[in-house]
Structure 1
Amino acid sequence: MKFIAFNVREDEEKYFAQWEKETGNEVLRLPDMLDMSSVEKIEGFDGVLALQTGTYPDEMFTEFKKFGVKVFSIRNVGVDNINLDAAKKNGVVVTNVPAYSPNAIAEFSVTQLMQLLRNTTIFRNKVAKQDFRWAPYVGKELRSLTVGVVGTGRIGRAAIDIYRGFGAKVIAYDLYPNPELKKQGIYVDSYDELFSQADVITLHMPATPDDYHLIGTENLNKMKDGSYIINTARGALVDTKALITALRSGKLAGAALDTYENESDIFNHDLSNQEIKDETFKELLSLDNVLVTPHVAFYTETAVKNMVLIALNSAKSVCEDGTASTVVK
């Protein structure tokens, strides 16, 4: 079998090579993004691998069908930017990597919160200016806070375990509660309850049309004064302009964003010495109570290995058996 992989990074190379050696299959690796200008490169291949961060218009799957491509394997969890009906119509099976390392993302979300609670960005900037005074930036202890976890899938559950390890009180909301957590009485019945009770809101959920800008003006107003938002999930969950207003007014004490609603032209690009034209994003970067990272919560050795190998094995399984355990329904 022959596969073609787009958006291949240097840190992924050794895992692609390992898989080729072990299976005897061929994988052409390209650093290029998959889009309508590069889609012709898929001719002659059985399957295509790419990243969730790309943009995949419906007509791309017409090209897949024309070139006889059987499977589109995404090396991420999210498929909210893929029209699954368009893929199915053209006979293309879509697979993803449902869990490459839940702990990587959960650990990162807690790491970011701890920095906000202890004002590390502010102190780092003060030290750079040789200002070594403490006041008035007194920190908070996590064990004294209530953490509201939105989404209790693999990542959310890993986060709950870590927060509990710090001694925090944890509450959660999920449309589909986990039976074991439900027995523990961790769930509240609505977003309103979670927003009004939690000192910290941490998002571990997919993006759906129903949850677009879940963190917007209306729900921000329901939150405790001086609360925190952590988003390592999807950028579309947060109305960035409303968030900035809440941060500037003091309604929110801080926010950590590892994903941004208009990130595709910014994250994973070297924009050194270039002007960023997104004024909202520039305003985010100017705030010292905001941590912005370029969608790297997942980015550990364990996760990168799993993303590559699971995506490749999924593509191989579809080509051999017509299906895989990771097929997106």
Structure 2
Amino acid sequence: MKFIAYNVRQDEQNYFEKWAKENAVPVKLVTEELTDENLPLAKGYDAVISFQTGVYPSDLFDKLASYGVKDISIRNVGVDNLDLASAKANKIAVTNVPAYSPNAIAEFSVATLLQLLRNQNIYRKRMAKNDYRWAPFVGKEIRALTIGLVGTGRIGKAALEIYRGFGAKVIAYDPYHDPKLEAQGLYVDTLEELVSQADVVTLHMPGSEGYLIDEALIKKMKPGAYIINTARGSLIDSKALLEALKAGRLGGAALDTYEYETPIFNHDLEDIGVKDELFNELVALDNVVMTPHIAFYTETAVENMVTIALDSAKAVLETGTAPTLVE
């Protein structure tokens, strides 16, 4: 049994090496993400350990099957960029890491909301010019707001507990109700009902086909409401969001993920800049907090992502299945 891991960052390397030693399983580490050019490196390996939010090679599973690979174990949650039908046709198991640290993402989402509510962008810019006046940018308190959770899985529930600690009123929407939360009367029936009541709409769900938050839904949101997205960039129509922010219909947005983020996030663009004008307009707004998909990025989460992905691959090869198997 031997594995190959792609897109291995320096902060992950020790966890890979520790696991390989403890489990007596060789793991080849490749720093580049998985591409058509380096896919042949997987020849002769039993499992591929991968992490990327962008595009995989179109014939990924056909090639992996021809190489003898039996499992692809991804170190993240989302599988929307993988052709699961092709994986099944080629009899290649797919596993993910459904919960590497719900608290990491939940905490980050609340932290970015606090930056919005307390006008941190504006004060940072003022202080850079030695302007230390307060007015007229008075802040808001979380406990005075209605928080609308979209998605009540592990991350959504972690966020719920944090918001309750602040004393906020929380409502939730999820097609699949958690019985305990339902008994508490948290759920509303539709997404439209949630956005019409919530001062803050915070997204904690997987990617979906089409936009979840589009122009029509934004128009149904409360005037001055905030959007928090630490989930998937594809959930929000970025152009419609920008127009609503510029027009003052929304109070602000905290975006840790962006619809067209693949060529931007986790790349050093200091010398060439960002060519995406939509992104540049969003980032320039005082009422937008943009971060490069780092909500997950804590020591605990990184270790869990590596070890769970490796454990899952090992389980598939030894038993034919794993608790994290994606059906």
Paired position in structure 2 for 1:314: 312
- Distance apart, 1:127 and its partner CA: 0.4
| Unpaired runs of at least 5, structure 2 | none
Contact (CA 8 Å) 1:7, 1:51: kept in 2 or not? yes
Query: SS at the partner of 2:4?
Result: strand
Paired position in structure 2 for 1:175: 175
Most deviating of 57-66 and 42-51 = 57-66
> For the aligned residues, what is the CA RMSD?
0.8
Contact (CA 8 Å) 1:76, 1:96: kept in 2 or not? yes
Amino acid at match of 2:31: P
Separation in structure 1 between the aligned mates of residue 17 and residue 65 of structure 2, nearest angstrom: 28
Amino acid at match of 2:227: I
Most deviating of 58-67 and 180-189 = 58-67
Paired position in structure 2 for 1:291: 289
Paired position in structure 2 for 1:101: 101
Give the one of 207, 211, 214 matched to 2:212. Answer: 214
- Distance apart, 1:277 and its partner CA: 1.4
Paired position in structure 1 for 2:326: 328
- Distance apart, 1:142 and its partner CA: 0.5
Separation in structure 2 between the aligned mates of residue 240 and residue 247 of structure 1, nearest angstrom: 10
- Distance apart, 1:192 and its partner CA: 1.2
> Between the two proteins, what is the percent identity of the paired residues?
61
CA deviation string 1:237-284 (max 9, x = no partner): 010010010101111111000001111111111111213111111111
- Distance apart, 1:84 and its partner CA: 0.4
Give the one of 253, 257, 260 matched to 2:258. Answer: 260
Separation in structure 2 between the aligned mates of residue 124 and residue 58 of structure 1, nearest angstrom: 44
| Unpaired runs of at least 5, structure 1 | none
Paired position in structure 1 for 2:137: 137
Separation in structure 2 between the aligned mates of residue 276 and residue 109 of structure 1, nearest angstrom: 25
Shift of the 152–200 alpha-carbon distance from structure 1 to 2, 3 Å rule, reads: same
Amino acid at match of 2:84: L
Separation in structure 2 between the aligned mates of residue 226 and residue 197 of structure 1, nearest angstrom: 12
Query: SS at the partner of 1:305?
Result: helix
Query: SS at the partner of 1:291?
Result: strand
Paired position in structure 2 for 1:269: 267
Separation in structure 2 between the aligned mates of residue 226 and residue 146 of structure 1, nearest angstrom: 13
Query: SS at the partner of 1:33?
Result: coil
Separation in structure 1 between the aligned mates of residue 287 and residue 17 of structure 2, nearest angstrom: 42
Amino acid at match of 1:180: K
Output the TM-score relative to the length of structure 1: 0.98
Output the TM-score relative to the length of structure 2: 0.99
Stretches of 4+ aligned residues off by more than 3 angstroms: none
Paired position in structure 1 for 2:225: 227
Contact (CA 8 Å) 2:7, 2:52: kept in 1 or not? no
Separation in structure 2 between the aligned mates of residue 33 and residue 214 of structure 1, nearest angstrom: 29
Most deviating of 51-60 and 159-168 = 51-60
Amino acid at match of 2:273: E
Contact (CA 8 Å) 1:52, 1:81: kept in 2 or not? no
Paired position in structure 2 for 1:119: 119
- Distance apart, 1:317 and its partner CA: 0.7
Query: SS at the partner of 1:14?
Result: helix
| Count of residues in correspondence between the two structures | 327
Contact (CA 8 Å) 2:33, 2:52: kept in 1 or not? no
Separation in structure 2 between the aligned mates of residue 276 and residue 124 of structure 1, nearest angstrom: 22
CA deviation string 1:307-326 (max 9, x = no partner): 00000000011111111111
Paired position in structure 2 for 1:202: 202
Query: SS at the partner of 1:219?
Result: helix
- Distance apart, 1:224 and its partner CA: 0.6
